[in-house]
Amino acid sequence: MRSNRICHDRAPVLTAWAITLLGMVAACSSVHPARMYALGGTVSGLSASGLILASGEQTLAVSSGTTHFSFGSLLATGSAYAVTVQTQPAGELCSVNAGNGTVGSVNIDNVVVTCAVNAFNLGGTLSGLTTSGLVLIDGGQSVAVPAGATTFSFPAALAQGSGYSVTVQDQPTGLACAVANGTGTIPSSNVTTVSVSCTDQPFNVGGSISGLSTAGLVLANGTDTLTVDVNATAFTMPT
């Protein structure tokens, strides 16, 4: 009987403690709510029906004549987004610019969707590509360029008037490639002026030093020289 009474006496205390804990959890949730923001942007040139945009598992049907869009679900701060065209409108081609990014602390409203009846290819020339591994990217599409190629073209045509920005996503083995004339707006013809130049990838020559207690040490590698300071423990050749 005494044991039962002890349990009964403790029950109110445990119940009060549980209620207090739940209240603390609720208070923390209200003080630190999840920060959620909208994902959207502008649309130009959409004169036909059928356009469907996608970002992750979200999709959005965009009506003809629409000039602004916003996905229905909000995104949390720090989450990634990638807006693409899932379905093209009838008789038109739409391209997405500035469609990739990470949600910060404001609504995303700078995604640009450009639609046009005319569409053209984006490409250019290459020089010095003697090894494999080069991958170029523009927005949501990329192209792997084989060794020895002297020209390239992205697989999907872009709507006239849409912006482009070609960059190197992956460098080829042992080479360093740079893009020139990589940004612009699709004109009324194919773009062939993007230029990619590849050269041998440079590396530094250096090492360690021990016991250097006086001045005057000069290291040389061919015509490349380096004066080493007293008490230096490491060096890197300047070229």
CA-based nearest residue to 177, from 223, 129, 140, 216: 129
DSSP secondary structure of 187-238? -SS-EEEEEEEEEEPP---EEE-----SS--EEEETTEEEEPPTT--EEE--
- Collapse the DSSP code of 44 into the 3-class scheme (helix H, G, I; strand E, B; otherwise coil) and give the result: strand
Measured between alpha carbons, how far is residue 170 from residues 99, 202, 209 in Å? Answer: 20, 16, 35
Measured between alpha carbons, how far is residue 46 from residues 73, 151, 191 in Å? Answer: 23, 32, 22
Give pTM, 2 decimals.
0.61
Residue 19's H or E segment, with its range, is helix 2-31
- Length of the chain in terms of residues written: 239
pLDDT value at position 4?
A: 52
pLDDT value at position 24?
A: 52
**C-alpha span between 92 and 50 (Å, rounded):** 10
The segments of the chain whose pLDDT lies below 70 read 1-33
pLDDT value at position 81?
A: 97
Instruction: Count other Cβ atoms within 10 Å, centred on residue 142.
Output: 14
pLDDT value at position 6?
A: 46
Amino acid at position 152, single letter: F
- Residue 125's DSSP bridge partners are 151, 195
